[in-house]
Amino acid sequence: MADPMKIRANLVGDSTEVKVLMSHEMETGQRKDALGAIIPAWFIQSVTVTYGSKTVLAAQWGTAIAKNPFLAFKFQGGAKGEKITITWVDNRGDKRTDETTIT
């Protein structure tokens, strides 16, 4: 299981600003190891962010995303003390879900 995501969610005016640092190797499947064998592809395929019961961001990713990806976005609404849940799923079926409280 991957390390927990580092998440910050702040209410700025009438919108919520979210910043997420995910821990993931994000291999493209094009690099070789020291012995010359191809390192298999291993990358986050989907990211979903929910606030309450509403999805505020849904993304499909591929091999072009860097190791330990950083994601920042804003959405309309949000309230201090409410929870935001972020989930990613990679191409091996591994999944990570973490949440934070809006400040």
pLDDT of residue 15: 97
**3-class state of residue 85 by DSSP:** strand
pLDDT of residue 70: 98
Let me know the angle formed at the C-alpha of 94 by 103 and 30, rounded to the nearest 5 degrees: 110
pLDDT in tens, the chain (103 residues): 679 999 999 999 999 999 999 999 999 999 999 999 999 999 999 999 999 999 999 999 999 999 999 999 999 999 999 999 999 999 999 999 999 999 9
Question: Which amino acid is residue 74, in one-letter code?
Answer: K
pLDDT of residue 2: 75
Burial of residue 32 (CB within 10 Å: 0-12, 13-18, 19+) is exposed
Burial of residue 59 (CB within 10 Å: 0-12, 13-18, 19+) is middle
Instruction: Assign 3-state DSSP to the chain and report helix, strand, coil percentages, each to 5.
Output: 0, 55, 45
* pTM of the full structure: 0.92
Per CATH, which fold does 6-101 belong to?
Immunoglobulin-like (2.60.40)
